[in-house]
Chains A and B, each alone.
Chain A
Amino acid sequence: GESVGLHLPTLSVQEGDNSIINCAYSNSASDYFIWYKQESGKGPQFIIDIRSNMDKRQGQRVTVLLNKTVKHLSLQIAATQPGDSAVYFCAENTGANSKLTFGKGITLSVRP
């Protein structure tokens, strides 16, 4: 079936290093992707989005890359900080009603 998944369940990085979180999607018809951050006890928080007509989009300390050829999405976090520790989800837009399909999530742990 169609799904959005993440390659690794956990990622541990040193404070100050760059983090790269990867995501594979299987629905080639998806045209919109979002990265969310979820801290314990809170709902998902929007980080950055990208539409399928783009390859790259930059925000503050974050960059999302989209490779439609291999159906791969990545989130790059520059100079990772302790406050970046959380679970990260990629989500894709499927269907005319803008339903979001989420992956299972990856935990980012930042070592001081």
Chain B
Amino acid sequence: EAGVAQSPRYKIIEKRQSVAFWCNPISGHATLYWYQQILGQGPKLLIQFQNNGVVDDSQLPKDRFSAERLKGVDSTLKIQPAKLEDSAVYLCASSYQPLPDGYTFGSGTRLTVV
């Protein structure tokens, strides 16, 4: 079974620029999650999708972050404009249903904002 695919692996941008991350979940996984992991900390949930609908985006900074999951498969997370404090690893995870069981994480995208 293929894992959760994310791209790019690394990204360096200047503050105030925009950036987008892509995630392809495991086939058949209805639930998709985006996490932000700042260096030295545990992942923090940004947004959770069930198919193509948003279940929880309470911790997503909506003034600059946006995410979509068209057709309930792939997802993109965008930051515009980026700030220095957005430097982090952005992890995508997927699961069969909205349960912690079977969470599978991708390797993440490491973003550096300079």
Contacts and interface: CB of A to CB of B under 8 A. Distances in A.
A93 interface: yes
A80 B77 CA distance: 38
B12 interface: no
B61 interface: no
Contacts of B91: 43-44
B72 interface: no
B-side interface mostly: loop
> By CB atoms of chain B within 10 A, which of A95, A97, A98, A104 has the most?
A98
Nearest to B38: A104
B43 A102 contact: yes
Interface of B: 4, 40-45, 48, 55-56, 91, 93, 98-101, 103-108
Interface of A: 4, 32, 34, 41-46, 49, 89, 91, 93, 95, 97-100, 102-105
